[in-house]
A and B are shown apart, each in its own frame.
Chain A
């Protein structure tokens, strides 16, 4: 705690970990698309705010319009700044690869399946399946028995603590 400045660069590197894929000086794959999406969000926000009661300074539409305008203005600036930066390298990943590397894609798919299964399998069944599948995949198919046991143990603790100690209703 007394002399931590030496590792500041290391901390900064950890904080900017995600920029590893594309250097900061260059545009990230899909960055222009993101600014377009935020602009569209602002425009839609403003459009739907037009249907709200307005006409007075204290109307319900004041802040929706204001927030939408700020989003559009900032998105325009973000777009301009992104355009001025260099294009991504030819060797940089495609938008889909940049957004969804295999591990993230698999976990997201598991999450979606979990959401769909939750009302049918109930909390314990769907959560156990999600945890086991997630752990087995992330450990590259190794330690299957360990994943089964850890998932069962964790879930038992969670249910005991939340359902019976904290009286929290589970999904």
Chain B
């Protein structure tokens, strides 16, 4: 125990590590805020120029960028309705209406506070229960991941706007578009029509930037006569009573985020959407109706995606399996420095585990300070006239899209999606479900087919698995409950109608 504490204190005793964590958080906030520039990209860039550094310093910087980057994605979602990352899509649904009411400062302040709380929840679970959570997450079979993706698709009801059928239409189009490219299982080409650019598929980040960024800009031009709302920045830090009010929801969503983050292949984006949906179903008296600026709709996704940070480290540090793309890159960094991530990592190099826990803790404190300090300058962005800010947003979208894989074709896709998204909005088709379909489509397809192959392509054994495996059974019951909870009978019973 004493030894672990010594390891934990390493970053506190080295000023350069402290400094690097703070720099990382600061840079991460800005990288995360820009659509297309992802934490994954920042982490991979950092690997390239930190490989000659001391490992501790390199990890300190990467941990800082990770924490700051996940937070930064929500800033543009709240201010401009353009999520910096898929994990911030749900935040924008409630955050943007708040910014339109002049409450962007309060929204970002609350977002920062609950984000820091959730980061600590994730870190706490990482510190005390990592092996247990990791072993449990490994029990998930392809069928369970398929069920998880189905559960994710049910979110269409939550983020689909007014008409659920239009939401399902957009979601199904997203799933169909996610099938474009080379099938990862068999190598068969689907919907590529001989076009070499389509073989790699359609990046959901490209689609997201177009569907949210460019379509939002075009929609704003449609309403260019309207002035920008004046932001109230008097009371940014939420009161203690407000924090306590949202504490139960924060704890629930953070733990959901930790668990989803710990599942290999899933991350903050899925966690945030599931948490938003859970909040929408469970919160009886939201501060405002959901969809019009409910603070609960900011608390839930933000705590989930921050909780997922600690969660993503759990399988990485205990089993050598990355929880998400960023931890996969960190595994690469460990290999570069001669370490072998796996079950022996915690036994042979326990200092590394406790040092990462410590770096994440310091990064969370830095996030609190830097996040709150940034609220005022960030909030001023929204007061810039649309005629100036929107052309800049489009150029930012272009930079972000090109940076994904240095392809001009992606820019064309992005603008195409922007135009489609603009038309969709005009006819009441929400763009969120289409992005959801693009994110979950490959997860649905790959895991369904793996599960079916596991059942030797027999329908009955495949279906039996849903009730014979305990995890599958729980997930199946959850899906049935989620479907039932959308019926009028249930809503009447809960007093929602």
Contacts and interface: CB of A to CB of B under 8 A. Distances in A.
B466 interface: no
A41 B292 CA distance: 32
Interface residues of B, number: 88
A41 B185 CA distance: 25
B224 to A, nearest CB: 5
Contacts of B172: 42, 67-68, 70-71, 74
A171 B398 contact: yes
Contacts of A34: 423, 427
A139 B186 CA distance: 54
A14 B450 CA distance: 45
B166 A168 contact: no
Contact of A57 (B37, B45, B291, B457): B457
Interface string B101-114: 10100100010000
Contact of A71 (B30, B173, B387): B173
B291 A15 contact: yes
A158 B399 contact: yes
B142 to A, nearest CB: 11
Contacts of B221: 103-104, 107, 138
A30 to B, nearest CB: 8
- DSSP class of B's interface residues: helix, strand, loop or mixed? helix
Contact of B176 (A71, A78, A134, A168): A71
A18 B457 contact: no
A74 B387 CA distance: 38
Nearest to A140: B387
Q: Which of B27, B31, B172 has the most C-beta atoms of chain A within 10 angstroms of its own C-beta?
A: B172
Interface stretch (B3-11, B306-314, B403-411, B475-483): B403-411
A5 B288 contact: yes
Contact of A169 (B103, B191, B219, B406): B406
Q: Which of A151, A166, A167 has the most C-beta atoms of chain B within 10 angstroms of its own C-beta?
A: A166
B177 to A, nearest CB: 9
Given A11-B97, A28-B426, A138-B387, A168 B403 contact: yes
Interface in B250-282: none
B388 A67 contact: no
B186 to A, nearest CB: 6
Interface in A143-171: 150-151, 154-155, 158, 161-162, 166-171
A78 B166 contact: yes
Interface string A35-79: 000100110010011001100111010111001101100110110
A14 B97 contact: yes
A75 B41 CA distance: 38
A116 to B, nearest CB: 10
Contacts of B98: 11
B378 interface: no
A68 B288 CA distance: 37
Interface stretch (B52-60, B330-338, B389-397): B389-397
Given A57-B452, A154-B392, A74 B165 contact: yes
A127 B398 contact: yes
A63 B292 contact: no
B426 A98 contact: yes
A123 B235 CA distance: 41
Contacts of A58: 448-450, 452-453, 457
A124 B457 CA distance: 55
Given A103-B222, A150-B388, A171 B394 contact: no
Contact of B394 (A2, A45, A111): A111
Contact of A135 (B387, B406, B457): B387
Nearest to B242: A1
A83 interface: no
Q: Which of A1, A7, A70 has the most C-beta atoms of chain B within 10 angstroms of its own C-beta?
A: A1
Contacts of A60: 183, 185-186, 188, 190, 449
A123 to B, nearest CB: 8
Nearest to B403: A168
Nearest to B98: A11
Contact of B165 (A2, A57, A77, A131): A77
Contacts of A8: 288-289, 292-293
Contact of A63 (B448, B453, B459): B448
A166 B449 contact: no
B165 to A, nearest CB: 5
A67 to B, nearest CB: 4
A154 B295 CA distance: 33
Q: Which of B214, B388, B408, B450 has the most C-beta atoms of chain A within 10 angstroms of its own C-beta?
A: B388
Interface string B75-119: 000000000000000000000011011010010001000000000
A48 B218 contact: no
Contacts of A167: 45, 49
A68 B287 contact: no
A12 B45 CA distance: 42
Nearest to B169: A74
Contact of B103 (A1, A99, A150): A1
B425 interface: yes
A64 to B, nearest CB: 5
Contacts of A103: 221-222, 224
Nearest to B295: A1
B390 to A, nearest CB: 7
Nearest to B426: A18
Contacts of A134: 387, 390-391, 394
A7 B168 CA distance: 30
Interface in A74-104: 74-75, 77-78, 81, 98-99, 101, 103-104
Interface in A99-124: 99, 101, 103-104, 107-108, 111, 115, 118-119, 123
Q: List the 5 shortest-distance A-B pairs measured between CB atoms, nearest first.
A: A138-B387, A134-B391, A11-B292, A58-B452, A70-B172
17 contacts: A1-B103, A1-B235, A1-B287, A4-B287, A12-B289, A15-B291, A38-B169, A45-B176, A45-B191, A60-B449, A71-B173, A119-B408, A134-B387, A138-B387, A166-B31, A171-B402, A171-B408
